[in-house]
Amino acid sequence: MGTVHARSLDPLPMQGPDLGVQADEVDMVEVEPEAKQEVLENKDVVVQRVHIDGLGRTKEDILGYEIADVFAAKNLIDVMKKSHDARLKLLRLGIFKQVEVMIDTSQGGDALPNGLDVTFEVTELRRMTGSYNTMVGNNEGSMVLGLKLPNFLGRAEKVTFQFSYGTKETSYGLSFFKPQPGNFDRNFSVNLYKVTGQFPWSSLRETDRGVSTEFSFPFWKTHHTLKWEGVWRELGCLARTASFAVREESGHSLKSSLSHAMVIDTRNSTILPRKGALLKINQELAGYTGGDASFLKEDFEIQLNRRLFWDSVLSASLWGGMLLPIGDKPSSIADRFYLGGPTSVRGFSMYSIGPQSEGDYLGGEAYWAGGLHLYTPLPFRPGRGGFGDLFRTHFFLNAGNLCNLNYGEGPRAHLQKLAECIRWSYGAGIVLRLGNIARLELNYCIPMGVQSGDRICDGVQFGAGIRFL
């Protein structure tokens, strides 16, 4: 909660030289505990002033929204609670290094007998900060260098430059972030970026240069993001042995798309949850705002987690998506879905399920994947209460399918095709949670339902990432 300083509302000495009498001349009155409780909790108070000390380049008007609730406090306990909430809101703005709170009785000619002054002592972040860290993606790692200009214009704006060098992807980008005053969850951002990625399962290299704008806002229990993206894509072959189907996809294209994402997340952790649920729905429409890529893309993610006996957790998840090309032009290999690997259908190599040509996987226009998991503590609970709690035993059953659809057929034919040639696997292993950053899995997998052209990983398989089926 930070440091909260509060002076007594009635700082009167009960004995000693300040009263001009000796201690033995005073009739001592025993104070009832209930009376003290009444003074602290139920005595009406009025917050007369709120001060913010330590401001430099921060504009005061944006802070008024964060501290407004302090004036509505009715008693001392309420003042302390609302001051603590206001402190958290100030820290959330990302412009202060430290925020301390002091509560004192009001002073001055207009001070009320029950008046209080609340002072927030803040320390602003430096105008420029740098960072160096490592990130774990879906079975890949990267080194990230960042440069930030917090509170750029004095109202919690942020300018960020970031360079990332990874095992499969290299990127750099410049972004501007602006929250709405009084509602940090409602914000606007603009991004400029260049990303170069290598996809060995498709013998493909892709370079994206683009700009995007995003508007995020909460609505009831959901969180929404509206996005426009314009990107110039350059596709090329990663190796001389690339198939003809991949070579056909090589070249330049321009995609301009509008997308919407809705998220409902009640999980207690995004990495290894023990309770709660997740619902994520994405829609993307390309071609109506320019560019030569035209399609409608829908995908969703559902996850349910329930705690069982002996500190075990049962988790069920379902993914699915569909890509519908608009017009006569077929979909691009860069827009299709991919499936398989240690973060989705375990027991198969990375993105090695579905349509392929000469060993290069081309992705599909429709897919689904489901998983059932049981997480339990390690046998005999070694390191309980400490490092051992980061490990969990993992039992799983995964299934899924990826294919292309003939959109001239009806929905029943589509469902029948998705139900054919189902790949599935089962196994067990150990999971390590790396804080709230990522998780590692080491599983023994037994793949089943293998189709011609699929690549499997029969036996031990290692996975690292932030998003798992």
CB-based contact 392:431 (threshold 8 Å):
yes
User: pLDDT at position 5, please?
Assistant: 44
* Minimum mean pLDDT range among 156-160, 381-385, 444-448: 381-385
pTM: 0.84
Rounded average pLDDT over 143-152? 93
pLDDT at 32 over 70: no
pLDDT at 175 over 80: yes
pLDDT at 419 over 80: yes
Per the structure block, which two tokens stand in for 191? Answer: 């991004």
What gap in Å lies between CA 238 and CA 202, rounded to an integer?
A: 8
User: pLDDT at position 173, please?
Assistant: 96
pLDDT at 414 over 50: yes
User: pLDDT at position 55, please?
Assistant: 92
Q: What is the side-by-side strand order in the sheet with 115-124?
A: 4-6, 96-105, 115-124, 46-53
Cα separations in angstroms, 3 against 80, 98, 221 = 11, 11, 32
What gap in Å lies between CA 325 and CA 323, rounded to an integer?
A: 6
pLDDT at 11 over 70: no
* Minimum mean pLDDT range among 178-192, 214-228, 233-247, 372-386: 372-386
pLDDT at 27 over 70: no
What gap in Å lies between CA 4 and CA 120, rounded to an integer?
A: 10
User: pLDDT at position 417, please?
Assistant: 84
pLDDT band at 154 (very low <50, low <70, confident <90, very high): very high
Q: Which of 136, 133, 134, 167 is nearest to 466 (CA)?
A: 136
User: pLDDT at position 13, please?
Assistant: 41
pLDDT at 361 over 70: yes
What gap in Å lies between CA 172 and CA 377, rounded to an integer?
A: 40
Rounded average pLDDT over 198-203? 93
353 Cβ contact partners less than 8 Å away, ≥ 6 residues apart: 339, 340, 345, 361, 400, 401, 402, 423, 451, 454
What gap in Å lies between CA 54 and CA 100, rounded to an integer?
A: 11
Please tell me which residue, 53 or 108, carries the higher pLDDT value: 53
User: pLDDT at position 34, please?
Assistant: 46
User: pLDDT at position 172, please?
Assistant: 93
pLDDT in tens, 70-123: 999 988 899 999 999 999 999 999 999 999 999 998 888 888 888 999 999 999
pLDDT at 447 over 60: yes
Rounded average pLDDT over 193-207? 94
pLDDT at 2 over 60: no
pLDDT at 223 over 80: yes
Rounded average pLDDT over 7-12? 39
Q: What percent of the chain has pLDDT over 70?
A: 91
pLDDT at 453 over 70: yes
Q: Which of 297, 197, 209 is nearest to 254 (CA)?
A: 209
User: pLDDT at position 339, please?
Assistant: 95
Three-state SS letters, the chain: CCCEEECCCCCCCCCCHHHCCCHHHCCCCCCCHHHHHHHHHHCECEEEEEEEECCCCCCHHHHHHHHHHHHHCCEHHHHHHHHHHHHHHHHHCCCEEEEEEEEEECCCCCCCCCEEEEEEEEEECCCCEEEEEEEECCCCEEEEEEEEEECCCCCCCEEEEEEEEECCEEEEEEEEEEEECCEEEEEEEEEEEEEEEEEHHHCEEEEEEEEEEEEEEEECCEEEEEEEEEEEEEEEECCCCCCHHHHHHCEEEEEEEEEEEEEEECCCCCCCCCCEEEEEEEEEEEEEEEEEEEEEEEEEEEEEEEECHHHCEEEEEEEEEEEEECCCCCCCCCCCECCCCCCCCCCECCCCCCCEECCEECCECEEEEEEEEEEECCCCCCCCCCHHHHEEEEEEEEEEEEECCCCCCCHHHHHHHHHCCCEEEEEEEEEEEECCCEEEEEEEEEEECCCCCCCECCEEEEEEECCCC
User: pLDDT at position 21, please?
Assistant: 41
pLDDT at 60 over 70: yes
pLDDT in tens, 238-291: 888 899 999 999 999 999 999 999 999 999 999 899 999 999 999 999 999 989
pLDDT band at 42 (very low <50, low <70, confident <90, very high): low
pLDDT band at 436 (very low <50, low <70, confident <90, very high): confident
User: pLDDT at position 20, please?
Assistant: 42
Q: What percent of the chain has pLDDT over 90?
A: 67
pLDDT at 3 over 70: no
